[in-house]
Amino acid sequence: MPQQVVQSVHCSIEMAKSFLACISTHPYVIVCGAKSELALTKIASSLKIENIRFREFREPDIGNQLTAIATEPIYGEYRKFFKKFQLLK
């Protein structure tokens, strides 16, 4: 679990460089867990379908494996997409 948090932070930094310059309020932050790289890949596909922008983080130390995804700040109706995910405990 500690490694999941580290990967999430890496990805959040990449997301912030891409998306946060255009917002005026500080977004809420939630961290959800995924059981595998395949699960993350499926989430990424679903995000594309929902037109939710995101950034992936791939860890060079483990063969460029997908380890985290961070979305743009989410508001309004888009929040419903995330209700199905379990918060990282």
User: Over the stretch 2-29, which tens digit does the pLDDT of each residue have?
Assistant: 667 767 776 777 777 776 666 666 666 7
Residue 13's pLDDT is 73
User: Over the stretch 56-77, which tens digit does the pLDDT of each residue have?
Assistant: 989 889 999 999 888 888 888 8
Judge if pTM exceeds 0.85: no
Mean pLDDT of 39-61: 92
Residue 65's pLDDT is 94
Greater confidence, 68 or 38? 38
- What are the helix (H) ranges across 20-89? 37-49
**Left, alpha or beta for 76 (phi > 0: left; psi -120 to 50: alpha)?**
left
- What does the domain layout of the chain look like in residue ranges? 2-84
